Amino acid sequence: MIRLAIQKSGRLSDDSLKLIRECGISFISASSKLKTEATNFPLEILFLRDDDIPGYVADGVADIGIVGQNVLVEEGLQELTVKTLGFSKCRLSLAVSKGDTYQDVTTLKGKSIATSYPNLLQEFLTSKGVQADIHTISGSVEIAPSIGLADAVCDIVSSGSTLISNGLREVETVFKSEAVLIANKNLDPEKNRLLQQLLFRMEAVQKAQKSKYVVLNAPNDAISEIKNLLPGIKSPTVIPLAEEGWSSLHSVVNEDDFWDIIQKLKEAGAEGILVVPIEKMIG
Ligand code: PRT
Ligand code: ZN
């Protein structure tokens, strides 16, 4: 049995649960419960405050966990990282009042900065050779300048709309973050085997999300050009169509180059292009 700690309720919760389900693991989740057991994998899930997850994993109360890098690194436990997960992306940024003049970070010398991330901020300021007065507060950081508590703030940003609606302007990125899978350093062999199984499934899910299955028809004389556009996993599958002189090609394309490749396929003479999502991708 392996114990996984995830956030009980907040910005990490839905995607953490979704990832576990996509790994083929079933469990009953009631929002009132503090833990639950999977029905088809030796996994127990603990639901915690995100700030408690790194410490619980470091101490071995939980074996593995899912948490934001911002919290993990702030708590000085980045060595627990096993794998980045690609969701809950955000950044820790410095922001000043909209009307304040700002040239570069040296503008903040001797100023007071409100934040919930004093360690990450201190490390950033030290690396820039800037001394400032850090005020650690646990929430509502963005209102600090307007109530006269601080000259600037250092807070988590994703869309940027919270800063704008509080009359603030983002001026520096201090740290970029996403969700990560973390693990205790001293897992016994059985738990380590379960962790490797989970990682294998997570990788198959992530690969599939980045890829699309493409099926198209093409005249035979266009196949060699189309093959070059569609490397696929090894090489595309080519199947003759009932209509003479035509074939069907099957392949996998990466999401990042997707529209570009589709355009080129059309130009090369491809017709009836079907694009299908992939559920899992192995090897
Ligand atoms: O109760 P618990 O302690 O478990 O949760 P929490 O309130 O401390 O954390 P939560 O659920 O807000 O965030 C969990 C994690 O999600 C964070 O540690 C980040 O890793 C990640 N994350 C991603 C974010 C955001 N995006 C985000 N936008 N965390 C916080 N915010 C907040 C930010 O603090 C600010 O108030 O959203 C506001 C800014 O959002 P925009 O879109 O207006 O820029
Ligand atoms: Zn928290």
Query: Mind listing the pLDDT tens digit for each residue in 125-146?
Result: 999 999 999 999 999 999 999 9
Predicted TM-score (pTM) above 0.85: yes
Report, as an integer, the average pLDDT of 60-87.
Answer: 98
Tens of pLDDT, residue by residue over 147-204, are 999 999 999 999 999 999 999 999 999 999 999 999 999 999 999 999 999 999 999 9
Sheet holding 271-277, edge to edge: 237-240, 246-254, 211-219, 271-277
Q: Measured in angstroms, how far is the CA atom of residue 52 from the centroid of ligand 2?
A: 8
Give 176's strand partners.
Answer: 91
Q: Are 68 and 12 in contact (CB under 8 A)?
A: yes
What pLDDT score does 31 carry? 67
Q: Degrees (nearest 5) of the Cα angle 242, 248, 253?
A: 170
Structural domains in the chain, sorted by start: 2-88+178-207 (3.40.190.10), 90-176 (3.40.190.10), 210-277 (3.30.70.120)
Q: Measured in angstroms, how far is the CA atom of residue 255 from the centroid of ligand 1?
A: 27
Whether residue 74 has its Cβ less than 6 Å from ligand 1: no
Residue of 7, 50, 70, 178 to test ligand 1 pocket, by largest number of atoms within 8 Å of CB: 50
* Ligand 1 atom closest to Cα of residue 8: 4
Please name which of 175, 54, 168 lies closest in space to residue 118, comparing C-alpha atoms: 175
How is residue 125 written in tokens?
């300021």
pLDDT band at 251 (very low <50, low <70, confident <90, very high): very high
Q: Does the pLDDT at position 32 exceed 80?
A: no
- The chain-wide mean pLDDT, for the chain, equals 95
Whether residue 51 has its Cβ less than 6 Å from ligand 1: yes
DSSP string, 136-181: E-SS-GGGTTTTTS-SEEEEEESSSHHHHHTTEEEEEEEEEE-EEE
